[in-house]
Amino acid sequence: MHSTFSDGKLTIPALVDLYGQAGFGAIAITDHLCESQTVLGRAANYFNRTLTPANIELYFEILKSEAERAWNRYRMVVIPGFELTKNTVSNHRSAHIVALGVSEWIDPSQDPLAIAKDIRSKGGLAIAAHPVWTQKWEKQTFHLWGRREELSPYIDAWEVASGPVLFDLVLRSGLPMIASSDLHRPEQMTSWKTLLDCESTPEGVMDAIRKQKLEFTFYQGKDSNDTHVSNAVLLGRKRFAHLDAAGDLAIAQAST
């Protein structure tokens, strides 16, 4: 999810309270860290829609203090990180990589392969964010998917859903997966979520993602106006267990 440190509508404390009061066990706050070599990257820096060398230490300090508050008040784990953002006019040259569990600067101008290696060298997880068509009117980021054979040894998980949209291409790919809200505003809580089988610690969450001890479920938030929700509600009554050998989707009914 994204806070006011980049293009989100809520502060970090407000995000913690939003999810803590809703009973979530773990969240990840990963604001955009945009490169500044392209026109779109320079625009993000000009309009203060990105983390920068000037504010990233404050960002990490607030994440640390809010992680302590989240645990003390809600018993909720907060994973720090950021979304390395490379936007160009061409969708096929654009890429977003989430550095999960990283609390130090990474140069966003690097090639995606170097970024993924850098994330891992710092003990984090490299997540390919919305690598295929999101079915929304927004900047698309196809570069990682186009290089998936080359990058897959260095990417820990590929987003199988972003918000209420499930990515069939990723679901059937056999690649390690994760679902996220990509939340920028409160109504986007309505989305696919990742259910983790792990201890309630940052290390436990990271390890469960790495080992793919997880399932996906659809969370119906309150007061949602998202136009894609109507297409996802039916799927939200079921939980994906696995893909069978024929590549067909096997679905296990989830309790409600």
Q: Give pLDDT tens digits for 109-150.
A: 999 999 999 999 999 999 999 999 999 999 999 999 999 999
**Residues 56-77, buried b or exposed e (16+ Cβ, 10 A)?**
beebbebbeebbeebbeebebb
**pLDDT-derived band at 68, boundaries 50, 70, 90:** very high
- Residue 114's contacts (CB-CB under 8 Å, 6 or more residues apart) are none
For the chain, the maximum distance between any two Cα atoms, rounded to a whole number of angstroms, is 51
How many whole angstroms separate alpha carbon 231 and alpha carbon 57?
41
What percent of the chain clears pLDDT 70, i.e. is strictly above it? 86
pLDDT at 224 over 70: no
pLDDT tens by residue, 83-112: 999 999 999 999 999 999 999 999 999 999
Higher pLDDT, 224 or 217: 217
Higher pLDDT, 17 or 254: 17
How many whole angstroms separate alpha carbon 124 and alpha carbon 117?
10
- Alpha helix ranges (H) inside 88-201: 112-121, 143-146, 148-151, 168-171
Query: 12-253 in CATH: which number?
Result: 3.20.20.140
Angle between helix 12-21 and 56-74 (nearest 10): 20
**What average pLDDT does this structure show over 197-225?**
88
* Amino acid 221: pLDDT: 65
pLDDT tens by residue, 227-242: 333 333 333 333 343 3
Give this prediction's pTM: 0.87
* Amino acid 66: pLDDT: 98
Q: Domain extents for the chain?
A: 12-253
How many whole angstroms separate alpha carbon 256 and alpha carbon 195?
14
Place of tokens 């972003």: 162
pLDDT tens by residue, 162-186: 999 999 999 999 999 999 999 999 9
Q: Is the dihedral of CA 72, 30, 126, 120 positive or negative?
A: negative
**What average pLDDT does this structure show over 198-225?**
88
Higher pLDDT, 256 or 36: 36
pLDDT at 222 over 80: no
Beta bridge partners, 86, equal 95
Average pLDDT, the chain: 88
- Burial of 45 by CB count in 10 Å (0-12 exposed, 13-18 middle, 19+ buried)? middle
pLDDT at 12 over 50: yes
pLDDT at 21 over 70: yes
Strands 177-180 and 157-162: parallel
